[in-house]
Structures are given as C-alpha cells and as structure tokens.
A = this chain, B = another copy of it.
Amino acid sequence: MMEANFKMTVEYDGTAFSGWQRQNDRPTIQGEIETVLTRILNQHIRISGSGRTDAGVHARAQVASFHARTDLTAGDIKRGVNALIKGPIVIRDCIPAEPDFHAQYSARSKEYHYCILNRETPCAIGRNYQWHVRKPLNIDIMNQCCAVLIGEFDFKSFENTGSPRTSTVRRIMHAGIVADSKDRLLFKIRATGFLKYMVRNIVGTLVQAGLEKITPADFNAILTACDRTVAGPTAPPHGLFLHRVYYS
C-alpha cells in the first residue's frame, strides 16, 4: 500500500457544531470527519484544515489535507465519507495531492462571505444563515469603510482579545458589500489570512458605520489604532461562510 496525500473540499452547516477544530466530547466538523476516515481507512487519521471556523460558522468549501496508507482511490474515500458521516457535512471533492501539499500552509488566500438580513421583521426562513439587522443600513458608507481595509495593515484592532500571534499584519485583496436581494446584504472579503474573529469584528464595526453611528474616518481611525477595544461589537457567527480557499 502506498502512502498518499489527499486534498478534500468540505461543505458544512456549522449550526450544530462546536466549530471546526476537534474537541473532546463535543461535536466538531474535524472530529466527525476524522472518526469516519479512521474507520474507512482502518488507521488513525488526523486531518489539517485550512484554518479553524468558530461554532455556528458555515463553509461552502473548507479545505483539509491528510496522509494515509491505502489502496482506496480519492473517489472511494469521498463516497465512503459521504455515505457514513453524520450531520450536515458533505465532502464535495477529494483528490490526490502532491506530497508536500498542506491545507493550511499551502493556502495563499481565503475568501469569507457574511450575510445580513436588513429589514424590520426578524428572519424565519434561513435564520441560521444570516444576521438580522433591524434598522436600515447605508451600504455606500459601509463600502467606503471597506475601501479603507484594502491593502496590507496590522489588523490588531479586529482581532479577538487574548489570542497571541507572531504577527497581526495581513493583506486584504478585496472587501465589499453588495445588495444580494431587496433586503439581503452580502459582505465579501478576501485576504492572505484572518485573525481570530477578524471577519466578525470587521462586520460588527461595518454595521456601526451602516447605522451611521461612526463615519468612514472613524473606521479608519479604528483600524490604525491597533486596539481591539475601539472596534465595534463582534457580529454573530451564523451569518459567516468560509467561501473559498485559494492555492497557487
């Protein structure tokens, strides 16, 4: 049997999970996939995700990689996991990867989407997939703030407190908001990497701007302050989707 490296693309509904990362005694996406892979491949399997997603956050195309000694094809593994896995986790794709491919370290950039329902009445349909913001949001102002974010900056102001990192500098290639339908806003952001809660802290602060509580100049001052305590509240997890991970 050959030792092989595999690249999996995974869609999941994060509502019922305690996030991506394996935890003892709690349902996580990584945990569920590893349990099934360990069973199918008859060996202890650990997978590496492109990064963690928080509890309640969804993914359309999370990427994970793992090594295994097996005669099964990547297609066999995909079908096997989809047949046995519990809960709303689907392997969209599984392909052989170069031996040095690693879902996290090989990633060049990632794209997240955040969905906001902007209307007076709450949400019945799709309530696990969007944040309900009751008061009208000014999209133009929000997009002026998004423009401030594009480039390479220290994003410490948007990092969750108490998460030490060697560097809090990241490069944002794209950030913008579009009206998805009459009352739905879709925020899209792509960057070389994201700090803990970074997208949710940016969205929470953008909403403050959309409500006209802060100006784009204030938003810029928050970014340059490099101080988490000056940014807006953290947006809830259920509007957030890991949309795509880019590799070279």
Of the listed residues A11, A121, A124, the one surrounded by the most CB atoms of chain B closer than 10 A to its CB is A124
Q: Check if A88 is an interface residue, CB within 8 A of chain B.
A: yes
Cβ contacts under 8 Å, A90 to chain B: 121-124
Cβ contacts under 8 Å, A129 to chain B: 125-126
Report the Cα distance A122→B78, complex, angstroms.
12
Copies in the complex: 2
Report the Cα distance A127→B90, complex, angstroms.
11
Considering only CB atoms, which chain B residue lies closest to A58 in the complex?
B125
Distance to closest chain B CB from A240 (angstroms): 12
B13 with A89: CB separation less than 8 A: no
A121 with B13: CB separation less than 8 A: no
Cβ contacts under 8 Å, A127 to chain B: 13, 88
Q: Contacting A82 at CB < 8 Å: which of B12, B58, B92, B121? A: B121
Q: Check if A60 is an interface residue, CB within 8 A of chain B.
A: yes
- Cβ < 8 Å to B, chain A residues 85-100: 88-92
